[in-house]
Amino acid sequence: MEFKKKFKIFRSAGWTNPRKQILLKSLLFNKLTLDSLPNTMTRMICIKPKALSVIFLLVVAGCATTAPDTLKKSQTPSAATPTIAVVVTSETPSALITPSTPAESETSVDQTTASVSKKDSADIWNRLRSGFAMKALDSPQVEREIQWFVNNPEYMQRMMERARLYLYYITDEVEKRGMPMEIALLPAIESAYKPHAYSRARAVGLWQFMPATGRLYGLHANWWYDGRRDVEASTKAALDYLEKLYNDFDGDWHLALAAYNAGEGKVGRMIEYNRRKGKSTDYQYLKLKRETLNYVPKLMAMASIVADPDKYGVKLANIPNAPYFTRVETGYQVDLGVVAKLVDLPIDDLHNINPGYTRWATDPKGPHYLLVPIDKKDALVAGLSNLPENERIQWLHHSVKRGETISEISRRYGLNIEAVRTANNLRSNLLRTGQDLMIPYSARSMTPPVVHAAYREPSARIAASGEPIIHRVRNGETITSIARRYNVLVRQVLNWNLIEADDVLRLGQKLKIWVRGGPTA
């Protein structure tokens, strides 16, 4: 069969992409032997099934018309005879078809086998290593950052314990997009895998999204829910953003990461500035703030440690290459405390994988789903199917007293006015004495969980000896949330600090908390 006729068949199968046509030519001219065909197929990730079947038939036909002696020779190439290695990757702008020695071909085959078996790795670290693909960063700062991590083993251990909850999911999402696996380690630099992380610049969550950027990438936020904290939603949005930056900066991951930290406009202006001055436009030569200049070296340092922990004397936490959580559709608003009881799970553990919900209940308008440890899925599905409607949300009754306002009542229970009005179908803020109000107790603020005993702050250890903890009021905290955090009564906190229930707490205000004993309240 003539080459033109063969090529016409492939065009009819949809093979018009120039990258694929290069591969076709090598196949059609019989540059690939039957022995190399299976290896080639494993690399043709984006080949359509229809076209793949046509290729197979034509290559077999080509080989069948080859003289027996020629075929025999082609199946046993000598060491001096080069073979053709076809390498197609998601980051390569065009397929590279280059001569290579048999030894080089074996290396290429090994890499393919490794990529195919990534999900079969015993632990998550092996899977990450097999996907590291970023070019090395020529900067002495990388070594300095490595030393900092090595010299702070407790920090590393705490961070890896937190990563245990999220790393498999993030790794899976990164792999699906064909991105370098170093990206899965980026939350280590952004938030140390803290789902409740909040920066001075108002960036929040594992990926530290700013409000405006979050909205741009579909992460909506309201009183009940913040998509920037949602593990699944924020991960997908962050990878969308990083892919966009990678394309904007012509396939340079270092520049894309710098833009993720400092903003694409800032990095673009510095590139143009260096270009006008005749300077290098590589990341490490740009005039950027110190935080951004250290940002990429930190990621590359973390990747270096994961790549060879023995070299640096670091022991990585044992994190299995298996999902920790799964999604369960609830179909309606539900109290997280109720869910925690249904699946016999501490509320803090449930909130750690559902940090997007800022209240003790899911958003009444959705999303109507929860993430739960994978071994708790069946229990939750069964529990929700048998849960009466009146038990999905926890309520309190409040009888309006003379002189009380809706603002005071909302503040007393740690709610906003709109939550109280919605729960009671109120058209205005006017109340009458004796009026019964339904208080959605599930709508109270969800504060970050108490630090576990192994990592308890020094102040908590002092409390065991009878001394008070000095608590500084943080943004969004209420008397109720502070009392719940330390497992004490609201009236105790009020009496210990000589304040009233309707007093407004000031940011930074110091409160004394006795977790054991303390003054009689």
Output the CA torsion 436→441→443→444 (10° steps): 120
Between the alpha carbon of residue 397 and those of residues 13, 413, 431, 492, the distances in Å are 69, 11, 15, 22
Burial class (CB in 10 A: 0-12, 13-18, 19+), 130: middle
Between the alpha carbon of residue 214 and those of residues 233, 241, 247, 481, the distances in Å are 10, 10, 19, 27
CA atoms within 13 A on the CB side of 484: 16
Helix (H, G, I), strand (E, B) or coil at 28: helix
Contact indicator for 26, 97 with CB cutoff of 8 Å: yes
Residue for token pair 């992409």: 17
Rounded Cα distance between 400 and 436, Å, is 6
Residue for token pair 């092996």: 126
Between the alpha carbon of residue 73 and those of residues 22, 104, 309, 393, the distances in Å are 24, 20, 46, 76
Between the alpha carbon of residue 189 and those of residues 66, 257, 267, 357, 476, the distances in Å are 57, 11, 19, 24, 26
Kindly provide the b/e burial profile for residues 219-231, where b requires at least 16 CB atoms within 10 angstroms of the residue's own CB: bebeebbbbbbbb
Rounded Cα distance between 406 and 385, Å, is 36
Rounded Cα distance between 160 and 319, Å, is 8
Which residue in the list 145, 175, 190, 232 is annotated as catalytic?
190
Rounded Cα distance between 234 and 227, Å, is 6
Active site residue 190: yes
Rounded Cα distance between 376 and 169, Å, is 17
Contact indicator for 229, 205 with CB cutoff of 8 Å: yes
Rounded Cα distance between 141 and 154, Å, is 22
Contact indicator for 84, 36 with CB cutoff of 8 Å: yes
Rounded Cα distance between 114 and 169, Å, is 20
Going 113 to 117 to 123 to 127, the CA torsion angle's sign is positive
Between the alpha carbon of residue 419 and those of residues 109, 127, 223, 267, 394, the distances in Å are 60, 46, 9, 43, 14
Catalytic sites, residue numbers: 190
